Amino acid sequence: VVALDDETDIRHRPYLHEKGIYLSRELTDKIQKEGIETFKDATSSNTIIVGIILAVIGANLENAMEAAEPGSGAFLKKGFEIANRWKLVGTYPIEPKAGDHCKFDGNQALAFGALVGGCQFMAGYPMTPATSIMHYFATAAQEIPVHFEQAEDEISAINMALGASYAGVRSMVATSGGGFALMQEGLSLAGMTETPIVIALAQRPGPATGLPTRTEQGDLNFVLHAGHGEFPRVIFAPGSINEAITLARKSFELADHYQIPVFLLTDQYFADSVQIVADVEETEIRRRDYPVFDTTYKRYRLTGDGISPLTFPGLSDALVKVDSDEHDEEGKITEDLNLRVRMVEKRLKKFELLRKEFVPPTFYGNKNAPSIILCWGSNKLIVKEALEKLREAGFDAGALHFGQVYPLTMDMVAPYGLEAKRLICVENNARSQFAGLLKRELGLEVAHPVVKYSGECFTVEELFQTLSSIVR
């Protein structure tokens, strides 16, 4: 632990392992003073500290200096010298992993998965904690055929993305709760025009500005009911880096096939969490066939499954008409009330297919245990580790993580017999929103909601302590 301010002593020092290393505020002040005296540069101290940390984990100085920004190598070298003076070099060596691997944080994984899924247009307006998704796309746009647009606001961003999708490219936006509040009319437009779009929403504590740099899972109900009117949607909530890549890719496939909005719901804790994963294999982008029409094109043709033929301007001489008003099969405005009923039912029919094409939850532990811990999104690995501690302590329990939180179907949970179990639901919001959704959609009653809404994620130890008083 490196104390760059007094708050670190209060908040983080108590969690330091007994064999851990702690650089106190007094020491970091001395490092800063030494940096100023040596380099006449008040900003050198942070890089010197990085050098100390690299020395502690046994990193190679030459490799570190080669990777450093121009002009920073001398600062790193000074850090190695200080670590050697304090006899810290190689205290906690980290062996390089064999084979190819990638390092992602949550937002990078999400953006990478979007590119793997064929996304070619991304628009957004910077808002913590989603901004680094835009950074990733802006960088990628310099090397591959993908377009990134920083819009003047979130209203423009979602409408740009819908325009790009109408024109024929897979498109997405990224934002947080306050920005998504501005996207409501655009979301409803996507629902009425049946325009595919993927929306990445990285949650932070609200209401209003809330705690911009903290974490929460408080926007589930918001996303469930966002946009006026009734139309289908899918909500994914990845719990790991690999899952983020997989679900981001799947989001574009579903959005394109069903012509619906698909959400990737994360939070600040997930967005900034870093994991090293095995090298990602190259995969072919799955695209549907887009028909060519030489005659009148019925964009909203009434079909048995609710999915109308989708094509784009320029593929043929046929006009591609879409409208935010209720419309007939060709996309022309209509006041025919009988047709209105049929169009609503056409759009909602997609739910029937979506409920069959679900991403199954992931189970850990004993399926026959009397107590099952439920969670979604970023709590996946925390709950998994807490469960391992519970089982080591002799508690009989299992855990079920949902990467898809909507739509829900009994087929998703049928293998686990949840109706006869004591259900515990772990989530980062005050009202146990996912537990409420489980009851509404599946009739499952959560006996013990475990919630945290301070702006911090759960720790394994606190979750273990709480769960051990419930599980029996």
Confidence of residue 10 (pLDDT cuts 50, 70, 90): confident
Average pLDDT over residues 28-54: 91
Would you place residue 245 in the very low, low, confident or very high pLDDT band (cuts 50, 70, 90)?
very high
Which fold would CATH assign to domain 362-468? Rossmann fold (3.40.50)
* Distance, CA of 126 to CA of 429 (rounded, Å): 24
Would you kindly state where each structural domain of the chain is located, as residue ranges?
A: 6-85, 102-278, 362-468
Residues 341, 64: Cα–Cα separation, whole Å: 65
pLDDT at 366: 96
Give the residue among 459, 16, 10 at the shortest CA–CA distance from 215: 459
Query: Rounded to whole angstroms, what are the CA distances from 147 to 65, 122, 162, 360, 468?
Result: 34, 6, 14, 33, 50
Largest Cα–Cα distance in the chain? 83
* pLDDT in the model for residue 100: 82
| Neighbour-count burial of 366, counting CB atoms closer than 10 A to its CB (0-12 exposed, 13-18 middle, 19+ buried) | middle
What is the average pLDDT score of the chain?
95
Euclidean distance between CA atoms 170 and 312, whole angstroms: 12
Instruction: Say how many residues make up the chain.
Output: 472
- In angstroms, rounded to a whole number, what is the distance separating the alpha carbons of residues 400 and 105? 23
In 3D space, the residue among 116, 147, 118, 117 whose CA is nearest the CA of residue 134 turns out to be 147
pLDDT at residue 368 in the model: 95
Q: Is the pLDDT of residue 280 over 80?
A: no
**Alpha carbon distance 166, 42 (integer Å):** 52
Comparing 68 with 224, the larger pLDDT belongs to 224
For Cα atoms 324, 330, 336, give the angle at the middle one, nearest 5 degrees.
70
Q: Report phi then psi at 311, rounded to 5.
A: -140, 180
Does pTM top 0.95 for this prediction?
no
Which pLDDT does position 313 carry in this prediction?
92
Domains 102-278 and 362-468 share a fold: yes
> 93: cis peptide before it, omega within 30°?
no
Q: Which residues contact 148 (CB under 8 A, 6 or more apart)?
A: 121, 122, 123, 134, 137, 138, 140, 141
DSSP strands (E only) in 238-336: 261-267, 274-278
CA distance 111 to 47: 28
Q: Indicate if the pLDDT at residue 282 is higher than 80.
A: no
165 vs 7, 49, 123, 170, 195, CA distance in Å? 47, 47, 12, 6, 7
Residue 289 has pLDDT above 80, yes or no: no
**% of the chain surpassing 90 pLDDT:** 83
- Among 22-26, 87-91, 194-198, 419-423, which stretch is predicted with the lowest mean pLDDT? 22-26
Concatenated DSSP letters of 142-198:
TTSS-EEEE-SSHHHHHHHHHHHHHHTSEEEEEE-HHHHHTTHHHHHHHHHHT--EE
Q: Is pLDDT above 90 for 5?
A: no
CB 229 within 8 A of CB 188: yes
Q: Which CATH number does the domain 102-278 belong to among 3.40.50.970, 3.40.50.920, 3.40.50.1450, 3.30.1490.20?
A: 3.40.50.970
Query: Which residue type, as a one-letter code, is found at position 338?
Result: N
How confident is residue 316, by pLDDT bands cut at 50, 70 and 90? confident
Query: Is pLDDT of 294 > 80?
Result: no
pLDDT band for 279, please (50, 70, 90 cuts). confident
339-392 pLDDT, tens digit per residue, is 999 999 999 999 999 999 999 999 999 999 999 999 999 999 999 999 999 999
Q: Look at 2-16, 128-142, 176-190, 426-440 and tell me which has the smallest mean pLDDT.
A: 2-16
Q: Which of 88-102, 239-253, 276-290, 313-327 has the highest mean pLDDT?
A: 239-253
* pLDDT tens by residue, 73-128: 999 999 999 999 999 999 999 888 788 888 999 999 999 999 999 999 999 999 99
Percent of the chain at pLDDT > 70 equals: 99
- From CA 377, how far away is CA 236, in angstroms rounded? 8
Rounded Cα gap, residues 395 and 31, in angstroms: 47
- pLDDT tens for each residue of 382-414: 999 999 999 999 999 999 999 999 999 999 999
Q: What is d(CA 175, CA 186) in angstroms, rounded to the nearest whole number?
A: 13
Rounded mean pLDDT, 178-192 = 99
CA distance 430 to 414: 28
Name which of 153, 166, 176, 158 is nearest 122 in CA terms. Answer: 158
Q: How confident is the model at residue 11 (pLDDT cuts 50, 70, 90)?
A: confident
